[in-house]
């Protein structure tokens, strides 16, 4: 949800900002802008649209050693050049970029207007720039930043370029900011891939911490009003992992990485995992929470814990969690799942739980993210950077960790690990050219027949996979898709089925198999074109996609053909699967 990159050093800052924005585009891609300062003053260049094909020569800015840039996912104010960041303060001294929502921006704006400040845009960000300008009249820039930031409500990360002193200042609460350091150069960004080309030495800012970059780098805690020291850490993500080549899209690359990422998810400290499993076992009144795809992983987790470990854990989506806080005590455990670790709805649920003194287990993919920091027990999914906006490999890594924990609760961690390693091996064998071709052919048929709806059914462990499969299809192909618990069909859904409607049945070799086949038969009887994702073919299937039979790991393997189908539908319909319309990777606003 908006990407920020700032640079100060000896290289061509505009070029670094442009490259950084291209790496951050997954965070928002409706418009972008770059600012810089030279001896003639401050300059801003903005454009509506994606940045992918923009060359340095297209960016009409002078060369400079300092720059601040932003790629936007609009919240306040339409998608226009004017509303694109960066934003100037009135005198053009300050240039501001922002990720988040200033919840009290209207009050601040009204007050500033009364004092004579004029506004050029509809954004909440411009309010920050003007307030900073006002506060700088009576304070040095650090104190002006402090006064400004402490007046803002909501989850915000802001970076300011002070054109007068050529200083970059960044501060965060709730939304991420990370500083990259190299000899004589500094980067400040929303996420590490923005500067991974140049350095792997990073410093993550915590809430209310500000980094001030000039000739040197200084840190302050603005809430506690004191200077602090922070150490850099080495990031283990590699440049190679954040590159899509030789694949056409990150989505395909990340889908095909899953045999490896599932294996990486098993690489956990066993003692720690067992100890966390014990915490789950002994907790009372626990909740699995997450949003979107991570929410579906949480839902699958509730089935794993129920059927494998006989442990009742409630599932609730992050944005609905606060209504359930009344059941939390200091014995409760929240299992919060998030790829980015920055999803506002998930983080708010965590905050609610912490206020009740409940403990938080965070299952998270991004190192240094807010969830990793807020969690009492952080567990990393180890999937490496997930760049495609829609989540694929992070989902199967989340499922893998939940499965491991479910086995560990039964003191059977080794069995869980063996199952996942076998899954990884089987998937490696499965995902060859012919397999992809088979799914591509199915996508071509659906496109050729111009279907507007696709329905997906599953039961038990694979109920959440039906929901996730439908989410993948709709978010990248824009074909309407819905997932259902197969048993719900006859309670209304079946009215939607017409002759030829593509219906996907996810049929595992488990105790639900015959009920699943009955539901598929009911759909076929109403004209549904039955696509079976299953280890074995069945006469009810019009089209069969084979998956290996992996027992309790069935949700992990079953989602992969659905991810591939979504991918080929998107590409076949001419959409960019990496950047679906209206979406952003990291949803840091409510």
Binding site for ligand F6R (CB under 6 A): 291-294, 338-340, 343, 346, 390-391, 471, 475, 586-587
Pick the closer one to ligand F6R by CB: 81 or 351. 351
Helix or strand holding residue 558 (H, E): helix 554-572
Pick the closer one to ligand F6R by CB: 8 or 474. 474
Residue 176 phi/psi, 5-degree rounding, is -80, 150
Task: Measure the CA–CA gap between 239 and 134, rounded to whole angstroms.
Answer: 42
Q: Catalytic: which of 109, 359, 474, 585?
A: 585
Pick the closer one to ligand F6R by CB: 133 or 475. 475
Q: Which two tokens stand for residue 110?
A: 């009204």
CB of 392 to ligand F6R, least distance (A): 8
Task: Measure the CA–CA gap between 167 and 66, rounded to whole angstroms.
Answer: 9
Contact predicate 274/413, CB 8 Å: yes
- Give the neighbor-by-neighbor strand order of the sheet with 529-534: 480-485, 453-458, 502-506, 529-534, 543-546
Task: Measure the CA–CA gap between 363 and 376, rounded to whole angstroms.
Answer: 11
Task: Measure the CA–CA gap between 114 and 464, rounded to whole angstroms.
Answer: 53
Note if 441 is an active site residue.
no
Task: Find tokens 């992918």 and name the residue.
Answer: 52
Task: Measure the CA–CA gap between 154 and 1, rounded to whole angstroms.
Answer: 14
Pick the closer one to ligand F6R by CB: 146 or 343. 343
Pick the closer one to ligand F6R by CB: 180 or 292. 292
B/e letters for 98-127, b = 16+ CB within 10 Å, e = fewer, are: bbbbbeebeebbeebeeeebeeebebbbbb
Pick the closer one to ligand F6R by CB: 308 or 405. 405
CB of 384 to ligand F6R, least distance (A): 14
Q: Catalytic: which of 2, 291, 388, 503?
A: 2
Task: Measure the CA–CA gap between 155 and 100, rounded to whole angstroms.
Answer: 6
Task: Measure the CA–CA gap between 483 and 265, rounded to whole angstroms.
Answer: 27
In 77-232 the beta strands, taken as DSSP E runs, fall at 87-88, 94-100, 156-162, 167-173, 178-182, 185-189, 201-204, 209-213, 217-221, 226-228
Helix or strand holding residue 234 (H, E): strand 233-234
CB of 19 to ligand F6R, least distance (A): 24
CB of 509 to ligand F6R, least distance (A): 27
Note if 2 is an active site residue.
yes
Task: Measure the CA–CA gap between 465 and 313, rounded to whole angstroms.
Answer: 19
Pick the closer one to ligand F6R by CB: 73 or 88. 73
Measured from each CB, the residue nearest to ligand F6R is: 292
Contact predicate 97/124, CB 8 Å: no
Task: Measure the CA–CA gap between 223 and 208, rounded to whole angstroms.
Answer: 6
CB of 97 to ligand F6R, least distance (A): 21
CB of 439 to ligand F6R, least distance (A): 18
CB of 553 to ligand F6R, least distance (A): 21
Active site residues: 2, 585
């Amino acid at each position: 949800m908006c990407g920020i990159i700032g640079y100060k050093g000896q290289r061509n800052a505009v070029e670094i900002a442009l490259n950084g924005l291209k790496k951050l585009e997954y965070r928002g891609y409706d418009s972008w802008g770059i600012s810089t300062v030279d001896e003639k003053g401050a300059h801003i260049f903005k454009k509506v649209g994606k940045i992918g094909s923009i060359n340095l020569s297209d960016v009409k800015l002078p060369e400079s050693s300092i720059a601040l840039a932003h790629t936007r996912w609009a919240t306040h104010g339409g998608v226009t050049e004017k509303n694109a960041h960066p934003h100037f303060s009135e005198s053009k001294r300050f240039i501001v970029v922002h990720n988040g929502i200033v919840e009290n921006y209207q009050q601040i704006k009204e007050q500033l207007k009364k004092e004579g400040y004029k506004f050029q845009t509809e954004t909440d960000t411009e309010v920050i720039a003007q307030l900073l300008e006002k506060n700088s009249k009576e304070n040095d820039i650090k104190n002006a930043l402090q006064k400004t930031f402490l007046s803002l409500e909501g989850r915000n990360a802001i970076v300011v370029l002070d054109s007068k002193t050529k200083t970059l200042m960044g501060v965060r609460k709730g939304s991420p900011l990370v500083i990259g350091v190299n000899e004589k150069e500094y980067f400040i960004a929303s996420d590490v891939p923005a500067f991974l080309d140049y350095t792997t030495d990073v410093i993550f800012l915590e809430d209310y911490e500000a980094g001030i970059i000039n000739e040197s780098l200084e840190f302050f805690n603005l809430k506690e009003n004191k200077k602090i020291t922070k150490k850099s850490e080495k990031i283990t993500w590699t440049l190679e992992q954040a590159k899509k080549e030789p694949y056409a899209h990150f989505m395909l690359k990340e889908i095909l990485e899953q045999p490896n990422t599932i294996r990486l998810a098993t690489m956990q400290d066993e003692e720690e995992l067992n100890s966390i499993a014990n915490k789950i076992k002994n907790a009372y009144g626990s909740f699995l929470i997450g949003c979107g795809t991570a929410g579906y992983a949480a839902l699958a987790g509730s089935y794993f814990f129920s059927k494998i470990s006989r442990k009742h854990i409630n599932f609730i989506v992050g944005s609905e969690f606060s209504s359930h806080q009344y059941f939390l005590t200091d014995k409760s455990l929240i299992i919060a799942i998030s790829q980015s670790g920055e999803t506002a709805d998930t983080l708010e649920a965590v905050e609610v739980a912490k206020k009740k003194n409940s403990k938080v287990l965070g299952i998270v993919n991004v190192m240094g993210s807010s969830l990793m920091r807020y969690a009492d027990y952080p567990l990393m999914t180890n999937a490496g950077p997930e760049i495609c906006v829609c989540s694929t490999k992070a989902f199967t890594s989340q499922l893998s960790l939940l499965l491991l924990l479910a086995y560990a609760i039964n003191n059977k961690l080794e069995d869980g690990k063996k199952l996942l390693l076998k899954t990884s091996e089987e998937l490696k064998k499965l995902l060859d050219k012919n397999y992809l071709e088979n799914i591509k052919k199915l996508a071509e048929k659906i496109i050729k027949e111009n279907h507007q709806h696709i329905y997906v059914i599953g039961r038990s462990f694979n109920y959440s996979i039906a929901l996730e499969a439908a989410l993948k299809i709709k978010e990248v192909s824009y074909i309407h898709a819905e997932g259902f618990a197969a048993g719900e069909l006859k309670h209304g859904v079946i009215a939607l089925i017409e002759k030829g409607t593509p219906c996907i049945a996810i049929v595992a070799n488990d105790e639900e198999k015959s009920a699943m086949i009955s539901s598929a038969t009911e759909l076929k009887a109403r004209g549904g074109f039955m696509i079976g994702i299953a280890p074995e073919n069945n006469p009810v299937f019009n089209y069969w996609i084979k998956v290996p039979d992996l027992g309790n790991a069935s949700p992990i393997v079953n989602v992969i053909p659905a991810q591939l189908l979504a991918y080929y539908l998107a590409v076949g319909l001419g959409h960019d699967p990496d950047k679906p319309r209206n979406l952003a990777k990291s949803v840091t606003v409510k």
